[in-house]
Amino acid sequence: MSSERRKPFPFDVFEPVWQAEWDAKKAFHTANPGDADFDATKPKFYVLDMFPYPSGSGLHVGHPEGYTATDIIGRYKRMNGHNVLHPMGWDAFGLPAEQYAIKTGQHPRTTTEHNVESFRGQLKRLGFAYDWDREVNTTDPGYFKWTQWIFLKLYDCYFDELSQKARPISDLAAQGLSRDDIDARRLAFVSEAPVNWCPQLGTVLANEEVVDGKSEVGGFPVERRPMRQWMLRITSYAQRLIDELAGLDWPDGIKMLQRNWIGRSEGALVDFQIEGGEKVTVFTTRPDTLFGATYMVLSPEHPFVESITTAPKRDAVLAYQKTVSSKSDMERTELAKEKTGIFTGAYAINPVNDERIPIWIADYVLMGYGTGAIMAVPAHDERDYEFAKLFSLPITQVVQPPDGKEWQGFCDDGIAVNSGFLDGLPTAEAKAKIIDWLAERRCGEQKINFKLRDWLFSRQRYWGEPFPIVWEADGHHHAIPESELPLVPPDLVDFQPTGTPEPPLSKATDWVQYSATARRELNTMPQWAGSCWYYLRYCDARNPERFVSREAEKYWMGGGKPGGVDLYVGGTEHAVLHLLYARFWHKVLYDLGEVSTPEPFQRLVNQGLILGEMEYTAFREGTGVLVSAKDVKDVREESVDGKVKLVATYKLSGQMVIGERVNEDDVEKVNAVFVLKSNPEIAVDARSFKMSKSRGNVVNPDTVIQQYGADCLRLYEMFMGPLEQVKPWSMNGVEGQSRFLARVWRLVMESDQEGNWSPSPQLKDVPTDKKLAKAINETIKKAGEDIEKLSFNTAISAMMVLTNTLTQAEVRPASVLITFMRILCPFAPHIAEELYSRLRLAFPALATSGFVADCAWPTYDASALVDDEVEIVLQVNGKLRDRITVPIAITKEDLEALALANDRVKEFIAGVTVRKVIVVPGKIVNVVAN
């Protein structure tokens, strides 16, 4: 008992009380159109968090960052008379649960349920104003029924190029297409193409899930192999996914990432006749350099390679193909520096000048992009240049750099030269002209190419949504009837991957057999499936009839104008994957008339990563003991730049004695940024790292809540700095917020000798004086404006200023404190509720009954903000010389006269001539004199 530190205010008592109170009264229940308590006169506001994957390790401090931000906005909008939708749920299918299950033998459903339970508890302890009645869980059959239903929508439509829209597949049947042709047009289709197979994970992966030839999860090698897989035709939407980014209020960086990922490039297809053979089509973005094409390169996997290779070259070509195919994607990119390749012995004819150009194969040409073949223009492409130099191939300059510069290797745009009928044309015109020329002769056409590949949508996993598809003995697939949804995965005891591409569901022999003739699809959907549409389900989370009712969707997603979720907050890690997939699904649903807006998320904000506490490392050259040994822990020898040096981790007990910045030339560059004031020989490097278990710098939100309270954690995370910025954790900073809240508490309450709290005698029901009126009105204004700007750190700072002013006031008008609680409520809801209720007890006439969270956001009185007097800065030649206080209504002339009569100003204009006086009313007077 005695060892436990006394709490500066009893958050540990009142926080759970209010949380229970909100729960019991369903304080943040949100009504839908059609509900009895729905108020149609209010505007809607849909504020969304990226729902978490309920991992076994629980919430980390990054979660409450975004969640607190949306909670503040949501509560603020609520107080401002909006119908606010602010829900939470669980993205609970996925690899980690399954892998944990394999390790422990527990069913993934059990561990998932357990983890969800603990996540929900943690979030409730943070006091977020969620409508828990709308909680969703992607692994709930009532939820994934509709994930499967949406899949069937994708299965049952095709992309109509003419209207650039998805249309029902029945259109095609009406046109008399064959069954195979129809299957080949579906947005969800089966493909036999090479896919990313990860043997360790025992599953295939989407392109987006492979980073540098390794799996994004786990970092295992990934190989390409042809397999029969389900694909989603996201490429059809490539253009719309780019175009419709324009209207979104998203960070530029994320838009750019998506644009790059989709990778649109304009160019042309050009046919080259192979001598004594067929035509090879290449894609180029620079058709204007066709005259400079001196050789051609095919990807080693190109289907023509076999037929065109001449007999003498056959062995060498086969050997090269073999080396390339044995390389993993990773090796292929890692060894990107040196070019390799081999001549096939074949020649192609350049259509523009009938020149014979040799055909090579090289692994710098990728089968997956364009046509898998290029025309090489070494004079104007860096890669082709390198290759041509290496193999002594001819280089012909066909573009003259602008501004008369010399051609040196390669160049971008310029004027065409050595190019026959293109000579003299600037690049853009040359491109247009050559495309026309090629089109006339039917050996080329304009072409827009995308990097984006179709989305590989099946996984060989147990813990995911089964496909609502069956296969007939004749090899055809078809959908199961909607009435059979949800299709629940069979209960397996052994859900280990089979180690082969055969999915684990194959082990459920009874389940697999759908009918006498048909077997079920054994693959499952990837984790992304559930997160592609969860924001829609929140609008109408318990609807058994539809994935979301039309009215609810129309209301919350705001059919018409821009529409969509009003604010979506989450980390950058989903910049391409989730955000691209969700946009794609949404557009399909929009085309099919199932939703009312073309885009799901109107405004997106990325919260910045929270790094671990700053770490200080102190060291010095040579041997010897560090002087401030008591401050330095963990001294060890380490090799820095090949030399052994003394390195020490510097962990002061809450103190940090760091001196001035030193000249970088004077210290070792590796670590030294600072020197100790007490001992200039010791350099100290301060930096923070990503939180990780191995580094031991992970901060657990539960610990913070226990020690300082949920309000304090919320406030601290918002005060750290701008929401979108990367910032280091600081336990001292948390203390600071705790002190602030304790000061707020003591504005209202005071304690006696025994530590009992009672209302402060300084609180009085008195009229507000001018000074305090100004202070409270300024806070209302600034906090409100800052919340709108998501500038929470400055809003909190405004409340601190108010607190400091109130602390100094001898008498604190109760009405001011009551207003203050309404401002504080979105940020620190528990203490605001507690103090509001205590204020109401002491001053029943001044406060309304009910939650402070249900109060209206206070309005400020603009007249209280203006002073009678204003401080004016006096400058001479732009330098501050004095400040004077003048009546607000002073004329420009009088102000100028006052300035020139000022002693300090006179001092500085003595002996020189006044040239000009600049008067900015209410701000400054600048006297220009020389």
Tell me the closest approach of the beta carbon of residue 149 to RNA, in angstroms: 32
Tell me the closest approach of the beta carbon of residue 288 to RNA, in angstroms: 11
Within residues 137-176, the interface with RNA by CB under 7 A covers none
For RNA, which is the closer residue by CB, 648 or 675? 675
Question: Can residue 252 be called a binding residue for RNA (CB under 7 A)?
Answer: yes
Applying CB under 7 A, which of residues 441, 636, 771, 923 lies at the interface with RNA?
923
Cα atoms in the Cβ-side hemisphere of radius 13 Å centred on 831:
31
From the list 6, 129, 151, the residue with the least C-alpha distance to 79 is 129
Give the phi and the psi of residue 21 in degrees, each rounded to 5: -60, -50
Question: Can residue 685 be called a binding residue for RNA (CB under 7 A)?
Answer: no
469 near 155, Cβ under 8 Å? yes
Q: Which residues, including other chains, have CB under 8 Å from residue 158's CB and lie 6 or more apart?
A: 166, 167, 169, 171, 172, 182, 185, 186, 187
Calpha distance 816→796 (Å, rounded): 17
For RNA, which is the closer residue by CB, 279 or 332? 332
Tell me the closest approach of the beta carbon of residue 835 to RNA, in angstroms: 16
Tell me the closest approach of the beta carbon of residue 62 to RNA, in angstroms: 15
Calpha distance 719→739 (Å, rounded): 13
Applying CB under 7 A, which of residues 176, 879, 893, 910 lies at the interface with RNA?
879
x-or-dash pattern for RNA, window 443-472, by CB under 7 A?
------x-x---------------------
Q: Which residues, including other chains, have CB under 8 Å from residue 211's CB and lie 6 or more apart?
A: none
Applying CB under 7 A, which of residues 5, 561, 630, 693 lies at the interface with RNA?
5
For RNA, which is the closer residue by CB, 231 or 548? 231
Tell me the closest approach of the beta carbon of residue 262 to RNA, in angstroms: 10
Tell me the closest approach of the beta carbon of residue 633 to RNA, in angstroms: 16
Sort 179 into a burial class: Cβ within 10 Å, 0-12 / 13-18 / 19+.
exposed
Q: Which long-range contacts (CB under 8 A, 24 or more apart) does 775-778 make?
A: 775/801, 775/802, 775/805, 775/806, 776/802, 776/816, 776/819, 776/820, 777/860, 777/861, 777/862, 777/864, 777/865, 778/802, 778/860, 778/865
For RNA, which is the closer residue by CB, 556 or 729? 729
CA 642 to chain centre: 39
Question: How many residues touch RNA (CB under 7 A)?
Answer: 91
Question: Can residue 731 be called a binding residue for RNA (CB under 7 A)?
Answer: yes
Calpha distance 793→717 (Å, rounded): 9
Instruction: Please list the alpha-helical segments (H only) found in 8-140.
Output: 11-24, 62-79, 95-104, 108-124
For RNA, which is the closer residue by CB, 316 or 929? 929
The secondary element (H helix, E strand) that includes residue 192 is none
Question: Can residue 299 be called a binding residue for RNA (CB under 7 A)?
Answer: yes
Of 261-269, 472-480, 759-767, 861-869, the segment contacting RNA by CB under 7 A is 261-269
Tell me the closest approach of the beta carbon of residue 648 to RNA, in angstroms: 18
Calpha distance 926→920 (Å, rounded): 8
Angle between helices 710-719 and 701-708 (to 10 degrees): 110
Tell me the closest approach of the beta carbon of residue 707 to RNA, in angstroms: 8
For RNA, which is the closer residue by CB, 259 or 478? 259
Applying CB under 7 A, which of residues 871, 892, 912, 914 lies at the interface with RNA?
871
Residue at 515: amino acid letter: S
How distant, in Å, are the alpha carbons of 278, 369, 435 from that of 417?
Answer: 30, 29, 17
* Paired tokens of 172: 């095609």
In sequence order, the β-bridge partners of residue 266 are: 448
x-or-dash pattern for RNA, window 788-817, by CB under 7 A?
---x-xx-xx--xx--x--xx---------
E strands, 123-240, where? Answer: 136-137, 157-160, 165-168, 188-191, 194-198, 203-205, 210-211, 214-215, 223-226, 229-232
475 near 135, Cβ under 8 Å? no
If you count DSSP H runs as helices and E runs as strands, how many of each does the chain have, helices first? 29, 43
CA 216 to chain centre: 16
Q: Strand order in 223-226's β-sheet? A: 203-205, 194-198, 223-226
Question: Can residue 762 be called a binding residue for RNA (CB under 7 A)?
Answer: no
x-or-dash pattern for RNA, window 179-218, by CB under 7 A?
--------------------------------x-------
Tell me the closest approach of the beta carbon of residue 672 to RNA, in angstroms: 13
How distant, in Å, are the alpha carbons of 59, 532, 635, 685, 716 from that of 696?
Answer: 16, 34, 18, 19, 21
Q: Which residues, including other chains, have CB under 8 Å from residue 684's CB and lie 6 or more apart?
A: 616, 617, 618, 650, 658, 672, 673, 674, 675, 676
Question: Can residue 366 be called a binding residue for RNA (CB under 7 A)?
Answer: yes
Question: Can residue 374 be called a binding residue for RNA (CB under 7 A)?
Answer: yes
Applying CB under 7 A, which of residues 277, 733, 759, 921 lies at the interface with RNA?
733
For RNA, which is the closer residue by CB, 327 or 477? 327
Instruction: Read off the DSSP letter of residue 574.
Output: G
For RNA, which is the closer residue by CB, 84 or 723? 723
For RNA, which is the closer residue by CB, 643 or 739? 739
Calpha distance 23→657 (Å, rounded): 47
Of 582-590, 823-831, 845-853, 914-922, the segment contacting RNA by CB under 7 A is 914-922
For RNA, which is the closer residue by CB, 439 or 918? 918
Decide: helix, strand or coil at residue 462: coil
For RNA, which is the closer residue by CB, 482 or 573? 573
Calpha distance 675→683 (Å, rounded): 4
Within residues 565-594, the interface with RNA by CB under 7 A covers 572
Question: Can residue 732 be called a binding residue for RNA (CB under 7 A)?
Answer: yes
Question: Can residue 780 be called a binding residue for RNA (CB under 7 A)?
Answer: no
Of 415-423, 468-476, 855-863, 872-880, the segment contacting RNA by CB under 7 A is 872-880
Question: Can residue 784 be called a binding residue for RNA (CB under 7 A)?
Answer: no
Tell me the closest approach of the beta carbon of residue 802 to RNA, in angstroms: 10
Pairing relationship of beta strands 399-400 and 264-274 according to DSSP bridges: unpaired
Tell me the closest approach of the beta carbon of residue 413 to RNA, in angstroms: 14
Question: Can residue 662 be called a binding residue for RNA (CB under 7 A)?
Answer: no
Applying CB under 7 A, which of residues 699, 720, 790, 884 lies at the interface with RNA?
720
* Paired tokens of 396: 């012909």
Question: Can residue 739 be called a binding residue for RNA (CB under 7 A)?
Answer: yes
CA 624 to chain centre: 48
Question: Can residue 403 be called a binding residue for RNA (CB under 7 A)?
Answer: no
Question: Can residue 389 be called a binding residue for RNA (CB under 7 A)?
Answer: no
Within residues 70-99, the interface with RNA by CB under 7 A covers none
For RNA, which is the closer residue by CB, 258 or 597? 258
Applying CB under 7 A, which of residues 44, 120, 240, 383 lies at the interface with RNA?
383
Applying CB under 7 A, which of residues 56, 253, 420, 887 lies at the interface with RNA?
253
For RNA, which is the closer residue by CB, 134 or 339? 339
Applying CB under 7 A, which of residues 314, 322, 695, 883 lies at the interface with RNA?
883
Of 52-60, 120-128, 328-336, 813-821, the segment contacting RNA by CB under 7 A is 328-336
Sort 9 into a burial class: Cβ within 10 Å, 0-12 / 13-18 / 19+.
buried
* Paired tokens of 598: 């073309």
For RNA, which is the closer residue by CB, 559 or 759? 759
Question: Can residue 888 be called a binding residue for RNA (CB under 7 A)?
Answer: no
Of 60-68, 365-373, 389-397, 515-523, the segment contacting RNA by CB under 7 A is 365-373
